[in-house]
Amino acid sequence: MKADITILIAEDDEGHASLIQKNLKRSGISNNMKHFLDGQETMDYLEEVKGDIDPNKRIGYLLLLDIRMPKVDGVEVLRRVKEDSKLRRIPVIMITTTDDPREVQRCHELGCSNYITKPIDYDKFVKAIRQLGLFLAVVEVPEMNGF
């Protein structure tokens, strides 16, 4: 992944957020990471950076988004991001314990790029995040310029 892509982690569980960050780094991801504890914090940040988008700068974001969060849940954050003309190019990967097929389908219909179910087992969760890191190392994330 390009170094100028910032990974936004919207996760209300501090332990899960820490595991995600640590294991992405162990997978070779050295990008800047920002952690948000709820959906409202996430949306506030996105609104802030949206206003600062400069077509001359190479800026990109990737959002790792939990569904069950306080204030504004992840599905609502996803909906708002994908309905916004400046934010909709941000890839959103849902990382959640929710494996309800209706929830998975709903998130895909709203425009998520991928949906990862967090395993309850610690070792399996670590392995899933490391695999995500390997995926992110080769994926192309669109830049936010050119609006």
Q: What is the mean pLDDT of residues 83-110?
A: 89
pTM beyond 0.75: yes
Considering the chain, what is the average pLDDT of its residues? 83
Query: Which three-class secondary structure state does DSSP give residue 36?
Result: strand
Residues 13-34 as b/e (b if ≥16 CB within 10 A, e otherwise) read eeebbebbbebbeebebebebe
C-alpha distance from residue 15 to each of 19, 47, 49, 122, 135 (Å): 6, 26, 26, 11, 22
Give 3-state DSSP helix, strand, coil % of the chain, rounded to 5: 45, 20, 40
Superfamily of domain 10-50+59-122: Response regulator (3.40.50.2300)
pLDDT band at residue 147 under the 50/70/90 scheme:
very low
Mean pLDDT of 101-127: 85
Domain boundaries, the chain: 10-50+59-122
